Amino acid sequence: MLRQETIQIIQSTVPVLEVHGTDITKRFYQMMFANHPELLNIFNHANQKKGRQQTALANAVYAAAKHIDQLETILPVVKEIGHKHRSLGIKPEHYPIVGENLLAAIKDVLGEAATDEIIQAWAEAYGVIADAFISVEADLYEKAEQQEGGWEGFRPFRVEKKVTESDVITSFYLVPQDGNKIAKFEPGQYVSVRMEIPGEKNVHIRQYSLSDAPGKPYYRISVKREDGQANQPEGKVSTYLHKQVEEGDVLWLSAPAGVFTLDLNESRPMVFLSGGVGLTPMVSMLHTLLEKNPSHQATFIHSAHNGNVHAMKDKIEELAQKHEQVSVFWAYTEPTVQDRERKAYHKEGYIDLGWLKEVLATTNARFYLCGPVPFMSAMKGLLLQCGVAESDIHWEFFGPAATL
């Protein structure tokens, strides 16, 4: 328990964190990687370059400070981050390193404003917060290892099949190299893939949603090749997977993790709303839902640039034909001539309020969102305008948590 004096000091820093939080976390990562370059084998370098990791940490520190007197309110966030930490291999011995460099970054950025009293209060608070993470993650590590088919750390899987799903998305069917059982997972969860790429100094770890229903003798990940744009480089891991990894090669996987999961106890209709490669966990969810309850009402709405990059379209349409209570709708922002000739989509352009109201059979449903952050932010806003209760909207971030 924190002393009341410590709580008051931490809360007094909330306005400062609101202004300088990202500056502090940027400096934190610079200092930590300079002091402990081995941690570059754990953290996603691309998210560092884009500033996503720094922003996510700044938001987490701000939330911890704001709710320091009621830390139980941020336990869901602790659990969500804990799943990611477990899949990456974050261990208790990493927390003192983080604490030391975070406090040093606060002092460095705020200068004289970061008095000894403030630094001491934050040291005390960080100890409590770190203990919460370590406790949650210890339980996750134990469950991941001791469940049937489970394992510790990373396990070798062989690429049994490599399937092109679209111009930019390829699926990899992965079976354990040792031939033993694999751990169960909940639809919506992901695995971390650890890769050593020739010519790269550091190991790279990326997280990919499992895109098939549980209960198969394999895991399937469906990876979008990030070709890069003017303001950002191509994705090293996704490009390597697409261009270099072939059937028979070995990938190292963590046990499945994640809190964005399908609620199979929900009797109301389900709505899956995705953009781009965000459909991957939704495909797993829809398949599982219909395997468990073939008569469950569901709506699958997906936004893509066009049919060339729209993955798994035929498979989803086959499910809808087989289950008449399932509706599917496609929105293409840049349809090709062939898309128009085949009438392959239901809306041209971005999803808007009027069209969404037309295709939704009901707002009394459970909604799942996944895709780029701007897409999910826009969709959440539209759903709220439709009258959907915020508690019925659930989403998954690919990468560090952001805000909608």
Helix (H, G, I), strand (E, B) or coil at 68: coil
185, 281 contact by CB (below 8 A):
no
Average pLDDT (15-41) is 92
Catalytic one of 80, 137, 165, 396 = 137
**CA gap 125, 122 in Å, rounded:** 5
Q: Which residue has the tokens 């000739």?
A: 341
Model confidence at 196: pLDDT above 80: yes
Residue 126, both tokens: 């960080």
Model confidence at 230: pLDDT above 60: no
Phi and psi angles of residue 331, each rounded to the nearest 5 degrees, phi first:
-120, 120
Residue 201, both tokens: 């100094």
253, 193 contact by CB (below 8 A):
yes
Catalytic one of 62, 95, 141, 332 = 95
The DSSP output letter for 235 is P
Model confidence at 403: pLDDT above 70: no
Kindly give the interhelix angle for 4-12 and 14-35, rounded to the nearest 10 degrees.
90
Q: Which residues pair with 162 in a beta bridge?
A: 172
The closest alpha carbon to 187, from 394, 359, 325, belongs to 394
Model confidence at 256: pLDDT above 80: yes
User: According to the annotation, is 208 in a ligand binding site?
Assistant: yes
pTM for this entry: 0.93
Domains and CATH numbers, the chain: 4-146 (1.10.490.10), 155-253 (2.40.30.10), 270-396 (3.40.50.80)
User: According to the annotation, is 354 in a ligand binding site?
Assistant: no
- Please state which of the ranges 76-80, 145-149, 307-311, 320-324 shows the lowest mean pLDDT: 76-80
Model confidence at 229, pLDDT cuts 50, 70, 90, reads low
Phi and psi angles of residue 149, each rounded to the nearest 5 degrees, phi first:
80, 5
User: According to the annotation, is 219 in a ligand binding site?
Assistant: no
**CA gap 326, 401 in Å, rounded:** 31
Q: Is 95 marked active-site?
A: yes
